[in-house]
Amino acid sequence: MTLHRLTAHEARDLLRKGEITSTELTEAVLRRIEEVEDKVKAFLTLTPEVALTHAAEADRRLEEARKSGTQDTLPDLLGIPLAVKDVISTAGIRTTCASRILHNYIPPYDATAVARLRAQGAVIIGKTNTDEFAMGWSTENSAFGPSHNPWDLSRVPGGSSGGNAAALAADETIIAIGSDTGGSVRQPASFCNHVALRPTYGRVSRYGLVAFASSLDQIGPMTKDVTDCALVYMAIAGHDPNDSTSVNRPVEDVTHHLVPEIKGIRVGVPQEYFGEGIEPDVADVVLKAVRQLEEMGAIVEEISLPLTRHSIPVYYLIATAEASANLARYDGIRYGYSAEAETLWEYFMRTRGEGFGPEVKRRIILGTYALSAGYYDAYYLRAQKVRTLIRREFDQAFEKVDVIAGPVTPVVAWPIGWAMENPVQAYLTDLLTLSQAIAGLPAMSVPAGFTQGLPVGLQLVGRAFDEATLFRVAYAYEQTTRWGEQRPAL
């Protein structure tokens, strides 16, 4: 058996039966990393000792439960290898945000999402590559070099959670958590053929997630299938008093919705998601997926979301404004990189000048400009107003439909280097993942097939706090199509 290929729920069943141990599973994953990591470069930090300690703990819990016949009451993710995007704090484990400015930062505490996964007994195997501070689409903005897409090593795995995406496609981990500010779990999932969920804003605690744009950031699961996505989501969702934007409202058990039954569910297909700028072959793959949903009993209707085209300027004003404030704390004094300098002013200038990469600097400058006196009303305030309109447009759509379906991105994974030479065009590829974040809605990416030998994802968007319907549709679709089971020939 090739253990590193297992999903978390398959591994869970074998662990409970005593057919494998967490130590064996973890060792298999670590061996796989040794075999392919040279080519994939998914990880910034590997933690084999931590992982084997966690695995041994899990094995003790499993063994005891088996003796007393209570193994079915154990947490689902006990003993399961987990990769954590390097913008999410892990106590005692270096957390760099793929930035030179945090190259030596070791957090004293775990993010709530990590603490909850650890409480279940998940096994941390390492920290994964990302665009610097999660700003980007390809992991090319990482200060430590890009990750590679296992489907074609000359291409990007997407981003910013590209390290997770590459690791999952190469079977270098079983599950992962990333962050999505404007698409960063969904787009890489689409580029690498696996599942990812951006939860409703406020559903998962941001405590310990290094802030990029606080009103948009959400932590989300990245997994090999929909069932695993539900298990990770259930582990991390729920109120946290440490995050003032975390919502105190019960979490519906989405695992009850993993049933292949979608008769009568109304699926809206926005014409704007298939229009200008969307590669025709990507649109074809996704339209086929929509027809499949219809064959399975969903009621498909065309809808219109004309404000979609404003999502790029709105997002890039709000996200950069918030980033410019959030990144003010990196001054070299409290933590991270510090430059040599004679005066305090020179010290700040050099620390930030040498510590941040070009994309981060671009965004701090843009955000500072948008917030400055005289421009605030014209840019930031206006963007916030359009944000409200975008939210209303979704509310109106959800009066008629239960789910919105479309592509995740207008393109397939691009060659390494392209975004660096065409940053403005790269911003435009965010067209289909920004408006859901702007409106705070849950959205999922599910494997939907291939074009040019590269994966394409189907995006499903739901009402706020209705992750359950997304899981239902995604699961039903996955069970009939099974695109996610395909693996690259690495």
Catalytic-role residue among 160, 161, 246, 311: 160
Closest residue by Cα to residue 429 from 190, 203, 200, 242: 190
C-alpha 448/C-alpha 484 separation (Å) is 8
Distance CA 410, CA 428 (A): 9
Q: Shortest distance, CB of residue 131 to ligand GLN, whole angstroms?
A: 7
Q: Tell the smallest beta-carbon distance from residue 483 to ligand GLN (Å).
A: 23
* Least distance between ligand GLN and beta carbon 195 (Å): 17
Sheet holding 175-180, edge to edge: 43-46, 123-128, 81-85, 175-180, 218-223, 195-198, 443-451, 454-462, 403-407, 266-270, 299-303
Q: How far is the CB of 473 from ligand GLN (least distance, A)?
A: 23
Q: Return the number of the residue (430 or 478) whose C-beta is nearest ligand GLN.
A: 430
Token output for 166:
């590459």
160 is catalytic: yes
Q: How many CA atoms lie within 13 A of 269 on its CB side?
A: 19
Residue 22 or 181: the one with the smaller Cβ distance to ligand GLN is 181
Task: CB nearer to ligand GLN: give 101 or 213.
Answer: 213
* Local structure of 389: helix, strand or coil: helix
Give me the least distance between CB of 369 and ligand GLN, in Å please: 17
Q: Whose Cβ is closer to ligand GLN: residue 160's or residue 324's?
A: 160
CA separation for the pair 376, 78 (Å, rounded): 49
C-beta closer to ligand GLN: residue 211 or 319: 319
d(Cα 131, Cα 111) in Å, to the nearest integer? 19
Q: How much of the chain is helix, strand and coil, in % rounded to 5?
A: 45, 15, 40
CA 217 to mean position of chain CA atoms: 10
Count the neighbouring beta carbons within 10 Å of the beta carbon of residue 329: 12
> Of the two residues 293 and 408, which places its CB atom closer to ligand GLN in the complex?
408
Least CB distance to ligand GLN at residue 209 (A):
11
**Chain contacts with ligand GLN (rule: CB under 6 A):** 134-137, 160, 180-184, 212, 319, 430
The residue of the chain with the least Cβ separation from ligand GLN equals 184
CA distance 125 to 73: 25
Catalytic (active site) residue 85: yes
- Give the catalytic positions in this structure: 85, 160, 184
